[in-house]
Amino acid sequence: MIIKSSSYAVSAVKESQYPKDNLPEIALAGRSNVGKSSLINTLLKRKNLARTSSQPGKTQTLNFYLVNDEFYLVDVPGYGYAKVSQKRRQEFGEMIQDYLETRPNLKGLIILIDSRHQPTKDDIAMYEYAQYLNIPILVVCTKMDKIKKSQINKVMSGLKKHLDLSYDHVTVLTFSSVTKLHVAELGDWIEDKINQ
């Protein structure tokens, strides 16, 4: 995929605020701090379009980024952030579920998992939940620049131990926003899904 243009479009917490131009959308979900906003910036070759932070919990709304006037990337608030109150966490959960379960424009979901750790309970719950959405899923192992070559097999077998990756609608990619590992493959996956 060639990126010709990208811009921040809108932030939403409910359906009435979602974009109304009926373009396809690809959403990104993952634990807080896993690298969702960084992946968006890397793919779009923008330094700080999606706001990133070493402090988890930065993204608190569904943030829509318009790409090539053709589709939206949707940055979803990260889960598993302990400092968020129970009530707030429930509101986040409902907002995310509402979007994922009712949005007809949603053509694919990217689930990011930190390659430095085993999938967390929240990662596993998200992945299992996503199987019911009936859309293509891309599992992205982030921060691969932090992994020694000799550890890569261990990362993949740890992932397979916790997640059933054998479904036809599931693709797996290793990724790094630092080295740009597999950024082209990421773009190809998205292009394929928005054109289906």
Q: Using CB under 5 A as the criterion, which residues of the chain lie in contact with Mg ion when the complex forms?
A: 36-37, 58-59
Single out the residue of 1, 6, 25, 59 in contact with ligand GTP (rule: CB under 6 A). 59
Does the protein bind ligand GTP through residue 78 (CB under 6 A)? yes
Single out the residue of 127, 177, 193, 194 in contact with ligand GTP (rule: CB under 6 A). 177
| Cα–Cα separations (whole angstroms), residue 160 to 37, 108, 165 | 25, 21, 6
How many whole angstroms separate alpha carbon 67 and alpha carbon 137? 20
Does the protein bind ligand GTP through residue 34 (CB under 6 A)? yes
Which ranges constitute the DSSP H helices of the chain?
36-44, 86-102, 121-130, 152-162, 183-194
Q: Which residues pair with 64 in a beta bridge?
A: 10, 74
**Closer residue to ligand GTP (CB): 49 or 194:** 49
Kindly state the smallest distance separating residue 123's Cβ from Mg ion, in Å.
16
**Closer residue to Mg ion (CB): 36 or 107:** 36
Residue nearest to ligand GTP (CB): 78
Cβ atoms of 27 and 140 within 8 Å: the answer is no
CB under 6 A: which stretch of 51-59, 85-93, 100-108, 133-141 binds ligand GTP? 51-59
**Considering only CA atoms, which of 159, 89, 151, 87 is closest in space to residue 118?**
159
Does the protein bind ligand GTP through residue 54 (CB under 6 A)? yes
Kindly state the smallest distance separating residue 174's Cβ from ligand GTP, in Å.
10
Does the protein bind ligand GTP through residue 35 (CB under 6 A)? yes
How many whole angstroms separate alpha carbon 65 and alpha carbon 178? 21
Residues with Cβ within 8 Å of residue 23, at least 6 apart in sequence: 66, 70, 71, 72, 105
Only one residue has tokens 């998205």, namely 190
Kindly state the smallest distance separating residue 146's Cβ from ligand GTP, in Å.
5
Provide the binding-site residues for ligand GTP, judged by CB under 6 A: 30, 32-38, 52-54, 56-59, 78, 142-143, 145-146, 176-178
